[in-house]
Amino acid sequence: MNTLIKKLVLAPLFTLAIASGFGGCMVSVEAEVPDVEVTQHDVEFPGVPGASQLGDLSTGMSFTQERPALDLPAQIDSSVQAVKIELTAKTGITNFEFLKALRITMVPKGGSEPIELINYEKAPNAVVGPVLTIAAKNPVNILEQWKADSATFTVDVAGTLPEAKWTIDMSVHFAGKASFKY
């Protein structure tokens, strides 16, 4: 009698086990995050006295942004890319007409080589307003850099720079993908 109960209970469990994984079935999960915006407010640039008489000049500044480290299990295959940068005029400027070139790089905490996020040259006769949006031409996978708990961003600008200090908000838009197979 005990054997019959075991057969009635174990047979369906064994069939379920085979169907759910012991028989070679694979579990696969994929996710896409199309837009994550990280904004640094009030990025300040010094003014350049006499810049209007000097013509095109360049300057740069850096800031460090703290964030939670991205700590993913090794079984997760993922990527993170900077897909666009958005600059918003705040104080000292009303638009980005003066800007002829812009380069933004990122170095993660503990890193030494900068990763170029954006390299922009203003097109001839382009009209630029109070918000400048620049799509990344060749987004690179920065997942390893994103695993650090902070990163230093460097913003290099060139053009007929403002004579008084000016501030911007800088937003970096990231997209990501993750997949897990078991």
- Angle ∠(80,82,88) on CA atoms, nearest 5: 145
- For the domain covering 26-181, report its CATH number: 2.60.120
Q: Provide the pairing of β-strand 150-159 with 131-135.
A: unpaired
Check residue 24 and give its pLDDT: 54
Domain ranges of the chain: 26-181
Q: Amino acid letter at 49?
A: P
SS3 category, 182: coil
Dihedral (CA of 125, 58, 84, 119) sign: positive
Virtual torsion, Cα 47, 48, 50, 56, nearest 10 deg: -120
Per-block average pLDDT, block size 10, for the chain (182 residues)? Answer: 36 43 62 83 92 88 79 71 92 96 90 89 93 87 73 93 95 83 69
